[in-house]
Structure 1
C-alpha cells in the first residue's frame, strides 16, 4: 500500500508541478505528516524532490526529471481498456486515435499485465442504445466535437418538437454527452444560459471563425446531473391511483420507470391476492393510458375518473375488435 502511495505522490508531482503538502495529503487521503515521511523516503531513494517554504512554496521535482514508471496495477490497466469505447469514439471521429493510443498503452505494459488488460475486451462489451431502437443518426457529431474541442462557435439549423419546428441558432458548444445511445451537446445560444440540444436534430451546421470562453465555474458533469434531475421532475404532471397485481408489478419493473416502481413499492398491499394500491406519478392522461395498457388486466385505474374512462373505452374497443 505504501509503495503504491509513493508512486502516486511521484506521479502527482510529475503531472501537476508544484504542490503543497496539504494538497498532496488531500489527494492521497493521508495526513500531512505522512506526506512529509513519504517525501523523505523518495529523496532517500534518489528521487530529486525539492521543497520550498512560504506561502507560495511546496514540493516540486527537479527540472527535467521524469519517471517512466506508470504505476499501473492490473486492475487499473483493465479499467483503462474498458474505458476505451470504440463505438462512441468512432462516431466522434476518434476511432483511429483511440486505436493508436491503445497500441501505445499496450506496448508500455509488461507482458502479463498486457495480457490481462486485453482480456477485458473478450469479456465486456458496451451496447449503449436501448432495446428495439437504433442509435441516433448523427452526421454532424464530428463537427460538433471539433467545435467543443476548439472552443469555436457554430451556426446551426435545429429541429425541435414545438413551433416553430425549425430554428436558426448561433451556439457556443461547451460539452458533449452520450446518454442511452443518444448524443447531446450542451451549448449557449446568444446570451441565454446553457441548454441541451440533441445532436441528431441538427439539420445543418456551419463552423464560425469565432472563439468563445465558457464560464470559469461551468462543470459539464454537474450541469448534466442538475439538468436531468429537473427534466425528470418536470415530466410528472399529475398523479393516478391504481390497483396492481403482483404480476403487473413485476412487469412494471421490466419496463424500467424507477419513479413509478418506487411508488408501487410504497403502496399498500391488499388481501387476498397480493394486489397493491398505490399513487403513481404520470406525465399526462394520454401517456399514462399508453403505459398502463401495456400491463393489460394486471392493473386497474381507480382515479382520476378521466383516465379510468379512457382505459375502459379502450378496453371495450379491444373487446369489440377481438370478440
Structure 2
C-alpha cells in the first residue's frame, strides 16, 4: 500500500474494510436484512421529522427532542450503512484515508449526541410526570434549544481530538480493518506508535459521556418511579409507565450493544470476531430503525398522522 509523502506522520492512502470476517460466503444475504433495516430507519425518521415540522401542535419539548433524535439517527445510519452495503454486495472494501477519519468522527460524535438526547428525553419525562403543572415553564422552547445545543457541542468538542490525534500518528504497513466501518479503536490498532494517550482519552470520553448520561437517566427514572407509585389511580400509574416504557426500550437498544462493542475492543480478546463485528454493525443500525417504530407506535399524535397520511382519512 502506497503511503502519502511526508515525515513520520505520513498516513496511508486508504484502508481496507473487511466487512464481516468469517462470514464472507454469506455476506450477500446478510446485507439484505441490513438494507431493509436501513430503509426503515431512513423512511421512519424522515416521516417523524416531517410530521413534527408540519404539525404545530407537536412543537413541544417531547417532540422537539424526538426530532433531534431522528436527525441524529439519520446521520448515524447514513454515515455507515451505504459503505457497509457496498462492501457486502459489491466488495468495495477500500476506503480513502480522510473518508475513514470523517466516518470515525461522525460515528463517535453522533453516538455521543444520541446518548445526550436520550438523557434530555429522560429529564423531560421526569419533569412531565413529577412537575406536570410547571412542565411548560421549566422546559420552555428556549431551554430545549439550549439543551440540544449543549448536547451537540459536547459531542463535537469531545470527539474532535480523536481525529486530530490519530491523523498525526504513523501507521503500520497493515491497513486492514476487520470491520465494516472505521471505528476509533479499530483504526488505532493499525498505528505504529505508543497509543496509551489515545486509549486513555477514549476511556475518559466514554465514561464521562455515557457514564454521566446513564447516571442522569437512572436518577430520573428512580424519581419517576417514586412519583408514579404514589398515584392513587391504577389506570394513571399504567399510563405513566407506558409513557416511559418506549424510552427505556430505546435506551437499552443503544447502550447494551454499544457497551459490549466498547469493552470488547479493550478487554474481549476471547470474544469471536464474528460476534463482535455483528454486534458492532447492529449497534449503529438497530436504534435508528427502532426509534421511529417505537415512538411512532407509542405516540398517538404521530400514529394518527401516519394513519391519516397512508389511508387519506382521519383515524
Same fold, TM exceeding 0.5? Answer: no
Flag the structure with higher strand content.
1
What TM-score results when the alignment is normalised by the length of structure 2?
Answer: 0.25
Q: Which has the higher contact order (CA 8 A, sep 6+)?
A: 2
> Of the two, which has the highest radius of gyration?
1
